[in-house]
């Protein structure tokens, strides 16, 4: 189960599922046709017609995949007929303990143990313990011992084992994180060594996470398949902007953590986070990032003509929220308000720049809105290059180039971003016809232009 899957899709609402894992459940008659279809699927499993059963399951899950009784029945029937990897493939991405209860979680936990995936099993076990259900504690402690056996010995005595390779990661629907560890415009310009400062010594590690967009879309899954709108672009570009800023401080090592949806064997695409990051999400980010000192999370929403951004600053050592900021802007006030926010964050985090001669000199953009649009376009092109976004989902690039051109001269980072944007667009056959643009005379920019003939 993708640890960050609950960030994508509809927000969770509390619900009670079955108390114990079981291959069958009592069905809500308000949704007609579900029970007969699941019975038919079970019959197909017993007839060794797995493809036929999976077709039915996909149809049922499309209509009623948020129901606890449906998930526990599917996971139970697949498990009792020996189709363990399929539980992970179609049930794991949809499971949320608060909505679906412990029964499906226990079935899923056993599936991960069977395929010898100790990390995923431990994660599900942690989620089940967090439900604080006294009647489950003895059983969960038994599973905890099983996970320990798997970690220490690679097998669990007396427990059926399946080849973990049978679970094809390309067919699993879920959210993975893409970590951007340096300015997005620097990808493809690695030969321009004088552009970025050398990161040395003991540094404070800070992560800026993709902003959640609660209630922004009636169907987040459908929205993820469309070219991004302004909210989607800002949810990724604002963390990129701050991560880039802190890359230019000798006190910090920074990353931007962004979501990518794996669509069950279909094209990968940028994720939309419909719910805020939880403490569990933050813990996992810390683990996968080899440690962090601070994490910025937040939400972004549109309130009439205004955008409302709420930022939270987390201190990782005690995993507590250290600061919360709320910023509002309209189209007319965006540049001024975002500039104030940028200045405040730098002051609050005691940001200082590198001395002269360590990479290009850092300067805040004259127009944050134009800069954020450029960063968003660079990210999209980067994702297309990496196979993490379909090319046909790219928004139009010409308006970005037109708005960015007057700002490309200064600071040097803007000139390098312009070169990088043209380079990436040209490599994909998407560069619009442009007149010559005046760029910075900084040696790093001159070298970048020479390298690509810009």
Residue 175 φ/ψ, nearest 5 degrees: -105, 130
Task: Tell me what percent of the residues of the chain surpass a pLDDT of 70.
Answer: 87
Q: What is the pLDDT of residue 48?
A: 83
Tell me the per-residue pLDDT of 90-119, one tens digit each, with 9 for 90 and over.
888 888 888 888 999 999 988 888 888 888
> What number is the average pLDDT over the span 237-244?
98
Residue 21 has pLDDT above 50, yes or no: no
Q: What is the pLDDT of residue 7?
A: 64
What is the C-alpha separation between 79 and 424, in angstroms, rounded? 47
Contact 122, 148 (CB under 8 A): no
What is the C-alpha separation between 53 and 44, in angstroms, rounded? 6
Tell me the per-residue pLDDT of 354-369, one tens digit each, with 9 for 90 and over.
999 899 999 999 999 9
Pairing of strands 306-315, 320-329: antiparallel
Q: What is the pLDDT of residue 446?
A: 92
Give the chain's count of helices (H) and strands (E).
16, 7
What is the C-alpha separation between 328 and 308, in angstroms, rounded? 5
Within 8 A by CB and 6+ apart from 384, the residues are: 390, 391, 394, 428
| Pairwise pLDDT comparison (105 vs 454), residue with the higher score | 105
What confidence category does residue 13 fall into, taking pLDDT thresholds of 50, 70 and 90? very low
Contact 104, 71 (CB under 8 A): yes
> What number is the average pLDDT over the span 432-444?
86
Pairing of strands 252-262, 306-315: unpaired
Pairing of strands 320-329, 204-209: unpaired
- What fold does the segment set 5-170 form as a domain? 1.25.40
Rg (CA), the chain: 24
Where does CATH 1.25.40 sit in the chain? 5-170
pTM for this prediction:
0.68
306: helix, coil or strand?
strand
Tell me the per-residue pLDDT of 394-405, one tens digit each, with 9 for 90 and over.
999 999 999 999
Q: 8 forms bridges with which residues in the sheet?
A: 273
């Amino acid at each position: 189960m993708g640890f960050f899957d609950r960030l994508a899709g509809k927000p969770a609402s509390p619900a009670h599922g079955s108390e114990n894992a079981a291959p069958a459940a009592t069905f809500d008659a308000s949704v007609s046709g579900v029970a007969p279809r699941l019975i038919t699927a079970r019959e197909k499993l017993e007839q060794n017609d797995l493809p036929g059963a999976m077709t039915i399951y996909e149809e049922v899950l499309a209509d009623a995949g948020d129901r606890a009784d449906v998930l526990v029945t599917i996971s139970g029937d697949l498990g009792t007929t020996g189709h363990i990897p399929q539980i992970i493939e179609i049930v794991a991405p949809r499971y949320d303990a608060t909505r679906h209860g412990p029964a499906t979680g226990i079935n899923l936990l056993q599936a991960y143990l069977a395929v010898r995936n100790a990390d995923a099993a431990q994660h599900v076990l942690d989620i089940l313990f967090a439900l604080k259900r006294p009647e489950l504690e003895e059983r969960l402690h038994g599973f905890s011992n099983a996970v320990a056996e798997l970690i220490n010995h690679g097998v669990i005595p007396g427990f059926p084992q399946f080849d973990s390779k049978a679970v094809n990661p390309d067919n699993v629907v879920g959210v993975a994180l893409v970590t951007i560890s340096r300015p997005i415009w620097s990808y493809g310009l690695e030969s321009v060594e004088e552009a970025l400062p050398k990161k040395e010594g003991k540094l404070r590690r800070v992560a800026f996470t993709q902003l959640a967009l609660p209630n922004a879309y009636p169907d987040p899954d459908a929205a993820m398949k469309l070219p991004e709108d302004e909210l989607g672009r800002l949810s990724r570009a604002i963390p990129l902007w701050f991560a880039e800023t802190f890359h230019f401080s000798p006190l910090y090592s920074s990353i931007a953590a962004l979501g990518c949806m794996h669509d069950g064997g279909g094209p990968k695409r940028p994720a939309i986070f419909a719910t805020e990051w939880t403490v569990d999400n933050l813990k996992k980010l810390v683990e996968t990032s080899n440690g962090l000192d601070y994490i910025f999370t937040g939400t972004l929403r549109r309130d009439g003509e205004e955008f409302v951004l709420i930022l939270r600053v987390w201190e990782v050592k005690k995993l507590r929220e250290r600061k919360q900021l709320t910023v509002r802007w309209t189209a007319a006030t965006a540049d001024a308000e975002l500039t104030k926010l940028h200045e405040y964050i730098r002051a609050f985090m005691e940001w200082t720049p590198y001395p002269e001669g360590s990479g290009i000199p850092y300067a805040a953009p004259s127009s944050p809105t134009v800069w954020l649009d450029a960063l968003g376009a660079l990210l999209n092109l980067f994702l297309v290059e990496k196979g993490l976004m379909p090319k046909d989902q790219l928004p139009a690039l010409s308006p970005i180039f037109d708005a960015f051109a007057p700002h490309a001269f200064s600071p040097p980072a803007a000139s390098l971003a312009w070169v990088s944007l043209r380079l990436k667009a040209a490599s994909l056959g998407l560069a619009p016809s442009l007149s010559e643009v005046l760029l910075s005379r900084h040696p790093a920019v001159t070298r970048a232009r020479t390298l690509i003939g810009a």
